Amino acid sequence: MSFKQTLGWLKWTLKRSKEHRTEVLDALVEDLQTAQPDHVVVTGDLTNLGMEAEFPAAVTWLQRLGGPQQVSIVPGNHDTYTFSSPAVLWHHWMDYLQSDSQDRAIREPLQDFPTLRIRGPIALVGVSSAQPTNLFYANGNVGKGQLERLEQLLHSLTESGLCRIVLIHHPLSKEGIAQRRRLSDAQAVQDILQRAGADLVLHGHIHRTSVMTLPGRDSVIPVVGVRSSSAIGRKPHKRSRYHLYRIERLDSPLDSRRFRITMVTRGYDKTQGCFQRTRERVL
């Protein structure tokens, strides 16, 4: 175990393990089994310390949500906790990460982002902002090569008629985020979204609900951050939530948006031990 992992383990034992609870995740799975969404996306930090045993354990949990046809993921900074983590996560999580059409035999660890997974009328574009960092840092970086491929991919989807949903772990804003936790090339991602367009961006990392918009190619792009899904909420504003999205195609020439996206927030009720609807809004 590296020094970073040892400190992380201490933090987990003394603090984080009291907040991120199995019973919350069990309630989440139960709620999703009732809601039966067409697809589930998880925007990273499925693991904590980058220990090898955490990766197959995460797959076992993902399988409770569904198989790779029903569930898509992108990695978070905890999933690349050590410099060997990217290769390990790719090995274990390939089925939930990979693009639909790529050949496993020619795959190199983390060289395949952004990914593209098409499910019905939805194009899921998976961006990896996760990278190994030094002690006390949790920055993200998309990187020049991936940025170029992202712009090409989004342009190629412009005429597809698909609802383009970009998945990324780190938020695209630096507002309220310590410098050591930000996405270093957030502005470059924003610029690409403005040039190439997208219909929705989903992220995690900050454990807060966040809804903002960015300028897009033809219309503004909603950008939504979600809380941790495992937090029991010793601080109520951090208590577990997840979002259900209803996506409807708009055919009105008067509306520059191609889709109406309605977001239902479901939050963990500590007293009842289950998730309940807390809010619905049109993005």
Binding footprint of Fe ion on the chain (CB under 5 A): 45, 76-77, 205
Sign of CA dihedral 145, 148, 151, 154: negative
Least distance to Fe ion, CB of residue 136, Å = 14
Nearer to Fe ion, 204 or 216 (CB): 204
* DSSP code of residue 15: I
Nearer to Fe ion, 99 or 240 (CB): 240
Nearer to Fe ion, 45 or 151 (CB): 45
Q: H-type helices in the chain, by residue range?
A: 3-11, 17-19, 22-35, 54-65, 85-97, 144-157, 186-196
Residues composing the chain: 283
d(CA 212, CA 171): 10
Cβ–Cβ < 8 Å for 263, 245:
yes
Least distance to Fe ion, CB of residue 207, Å = 8
Nearer to Fe ion, 76 or 197 (CB): 76
Least distance to Fe ion, CB of residue 122, Å = 24
Q: For Fe ion, which residue has the nearest CB?
A: 205
d(CA 26, CA 230): 9
Least distance to Fe ion, CB of residue 161, Å = 33
Least distance to Fe ion, CB of residue 132, Å = 13
Tokens 């982002």 map to which residue?
Answer: 113
Nearer to Fe ion, 66 or 132 (CB): 132
